Amino acid sequence: MRHSYFLDVFWKHFCTNRMAMAGAAIVLGMFLLAMIAPLAAKDPGAIDIAHRLEPPSLEYPLGTDDLGRDVFSRILYGARISLLVGFVAVGIATVIGIFLGALAGYYGGWVDSLIMRFVDIMLCFPAFFLILAVIAFLEPSIWNIMIIIGLTGWMGVARLVRAEFLSLRERDFVQAALALGASDYRVIFRHILPNALSPVLVSATLGVAGAILTESALSFLGIGVQPPTPSWGNMLIAGKQTLGTAWWLSAFPGLAILITVLGYNLLGEGIRDALDPRLKE
């Protein structure tokens, strides 16, 4: 009953936030476009030199590239890559962050000190340059990109979970569970963690946008998703050479990145405001 009331209050505040609803609509729209790509798009790798560098038209809504490939189809398939990277990378970071943050916040003492000093060390390195350094020693592939982004992005989640655990572990319901003989595992995962996930949900939503931007930047630099696999980042770098004559090659992938990242940021801010209405002005 309590969970039902919480969801009702959350949904009420979320639905009254127009920016949050706009973000949710953008995210849902990108999902739908990515899902229907095999049905609505042409072969993203089909080369047709006879139609190279054609501007947007009825046949090619977003034009064609220097090999005659349909830009609209490549953007739809690039959305699948970007969303996959975003969710897998954030999933890895969230799992690691929750696990280490829960241990640090629940046990405290030397466990907390050891984990948080490790977090501090990781935060000393600029994340993007750390990713660049690691990828330099590995083969550039979508799976390596997802894993590396996930392994270098968990520190914020760990800090959030630790702070929540430090507060919740002193609550009466936790002390009652311990008095009844509940194991540490049950107390952490059954009693405390479900009550500590609100900030994690917000962080994960915003993290998807960050992961998409990171993947796009790596692909733009040529060390991310490799051609001919379509990615918004490598589409941007491909359009750089013909920016003066074929503006659509860079404009539409860049717009796709902008809209998607904006949608996730709006959604994350809306979820944050709905979970804690006191944050709203």
CA distance 127 to 214: 10
Strand partners, 70: 64
The pLDDT of residue 50 is 84
CA distance 280 to 19: 13
> Among 160, 277, 254, which Cα is nearest to 207's?
160
Place of tokens 């949904």: 11
Are 198 and 275 within 8 A, CB to CB? yes
Q: Note down pLDDT in tens along the chain; length 281 residues.
A: 445 555 677 777 778 888 889 999 999 999 898 888 888 878 888 888 888 888 888 888 888 888 888 889 999 998 988 889 889 999 999 999 999 999 999 888 899 999 999 999 888 887 778 787 777 777 777 888 888 889 888 999 999 999 989 888 888 888 888 788 878 888 888 888 888 888 888 889 889 999 999 888 888 888 878 878 888 888 888 887 777 788 888 889 999 999 999 999 999 888 888 876 554 44
Q: What domains does the chain contain, in order, with CATH numbers? A: 39-261 (1.10.3720.10)
DSSP 21: H
The pLDDT of residue 118 is 93
Task: Pull the structure tokens for residue 27.
Answer: 């995210």
pTM: 0.86
The pLDDT of residue 161 is 92
SS3 128: helix
Distances (CA, A) of 32 to 9, 28, 199: 28, 6, 27
CA diameter of the chain: 77
CA distance 156 to 117: 13
The pLDDT of residue 281 is 46
Are 163 and 146 within 8 A, CB to CB? no
Provide φ and ψ at 68, rounded to 5°. Answer: 80, 15
Sign of the torsion angle spanned by Cα atoms 224, 228, 229, 235: positive
Number of helical H runs and strand E runs in the chain: 13, 0
